[in-house]
Amino acid sequence: MIKKKLVFSGVQPTGNLHLGNYLGAIKNFVALQKEMKCIYCVVDLHAITVFQKPHQLQENVLETVASFLATGLDPNKSILFNQSSVSGHAELAWILNCVSRIGWLNRMTQFKDKAGSEKEKASVGLYIYPNLMAADILLYKATHVPVGADQKQHLELSRDIAQKFNNDFNCKNFFPMPEPLIPKNVSRIMSLRDGTKKMSKSEDSDYSRINLKDSADEIIKKIKKAKSDSEQIPDNLKSLEKKPEALNLINIYSEITKNSLDKVLNEMSGKEYSFLKTKLSEVLINEVTPIGKEIKKLLGDKVYLGQILKKGREKANIIAEENLKNIREKVGLI
Ligand code: AQP
């Protein structure tokens, strides 16, 4: 049987999208819409696993759609919508809560990172977040999921859940095993302040990330302040591996200029990091500020953004309802 390829991925509306979201995931979303049918979702139900101010959440949903459009997602090619508007996500999540195992969830490192030492006070939603992510993907029987490296473990869990569902309900191949599409060099863009932590929307310091809406001045300031190294740029990757902040800057430069890491090191070796920082600011300004301008422009027409979501919801709901009908039948729900 030839599997029909279908891409699904989501982004949380938890604030400004940043360079990590863009290089690690969204750039890939845009490339994939040329090859396959794609469904991209603003995952607002995931966002509320950590408290969100209601009004701010609504604004963030619209801003995430605006960011999708500004980075090149085309609503005529891809389905763009917000998760809570298709109730099948929550329904399937409940069914999968009953398939997934507590032992599996206990291994999820993102819950441990996000809950930290306050585990007892974390929401139940944050704990079962990976089951909802499995539901997002399996609701559409997606075969490919473009994500950053931080989501690899959750995707493996989605595969385990799909496999167990197929076994439990004796329906081999009912859910396809979703495959992660993780970019090779930019799967984990690191914080500009601490090269051992990933760049993240929820990090307190805005200096830790480049936001897609940052102005040229902000980009220059942030890159200037970014941690690097007091020694000169080395000529080989091995020496860089012990300097995560410096490696992160070189890596971002290599990705944006589409030159290999070796080529970048050839060009830069022996120079001070200030040289790299000037060049990096230039290429980032060229890549990021047109996106930021477009996001701001799109946010000026919220009616249009609402229409995009509505159209996407209608299309997504047709696929979701069709699949849910079969899922309910398999489980024995009348
Ligand atoms: N630093 C990163 N490098 C590469 N990829 C990244 N992604 C996130 N951060 C990086 C990828 O972006 C997609 C959308 O992520 P998300 O916003 O849904 O959730 P997240 O991974 O939790 O992102 P943040 O920025 O860290 O948000 P908060 O702070 O709200 O938790 C995903 O594919 C993700 O892998």
In this prediction, residue 16 carries a pLDDT of: 87
The domain spans of the chain are 6-187+301-331, 206-297
Determine whether the shortest distance from the Cβ of 48 to ligand 1 is under 6 A. no
**Cα(31) to centroid(ligand 1), Å:** 18
6-187+301-331: CATH superfamily: HUPs (3.40.50.620)
Residue 67's nearest CA partner among 329, 308, 334 is: 308
In this prediction, residue 241 carries a pLDDT of: 86
Contact in structure between 202 and 14 (CB atoms under 8 Å): yes
User: Residue written as tokens 């607002």?
Assistant: 44
Determine whether the shortest distance from the Cβ of 189 to ligand 1 is under 6 A. yes
Which ligand 1 atom is the nearest neighbour of the CA of 149? 35
Question: Does residue 114 carry a catalytic annotation?
Answer: yes
Determine whether the shortest distance from the Cβ of 202 to ligand 1 is under 6 A. yes
Cα–Cα distance for residue pair 93/126, rounded to 1 Å: 13
Q: Whose CA is nearest to atom 2 of ligand 1?
A: 20
CB count, 10 Å around CB of 298? Answer: 20
Question: Does residue 258 carry a catalytic annotation?
Answer: no
In this prediction, residue 2 carries a pLDDT of: 52
**Cα(203) to centroid(ligand 1), Å:** 11
Q: Which of 5, 77, 114, 315 is catalytic?
A: 114
Q: Which of 37, 198, 213, 222 is catalytic?
A: 198
In this prediction, residue 186 carries a pLDDT of: 81
Q: How many CA atoms lie within 13 A of 165 on its CB side?
A: 33
Which residues face 82 on adjacent strands?
A: 42
Structure token pair of residue 298: 């799109």
Q: Which of 164, 201, 302, 311 is catalytic?
A: 201
Q: Whose CA is nearest to atom 24 of ligand 1?
A: 200
Which of 21, 44, 108 most suits a substitution to test ligand 1, by most atoms within 8 Å of the C-beta? 21
CB count, 10 Å around CB of 326? Answer: 12
In this prediction, residue 323 carries a pLDDT of: 98
In this prediction, residue 3 carries a pLDDT of: 66
Task: State whether residue 211 is helix, strand or coil.
Answer: strand
Q: Using 70 as the pLDDT threshold, list the residues of the chain that sit under it.
A: 1-3
In this prediction, residue 308 carries a pLDDT of: 98
As assigned by CATH, the class of the 206-297 domain is: mainly alpha
Q: Whose CA is nearest to atom 8 of ligand 1?
A: 21
Which of 12, 50, 73, 212 most suits a substitution to test ligand 1, by most atoms within 8 Å of the C-beta? 12
CB count, 10 Å around CB of 110? Answer: 14
Determine whether the shortest distance from the Cβ of 176 to ligand 1 is under 6 A. no
Cα–Cα distance for residue pair 38/297, rounded to 1 Å: 25
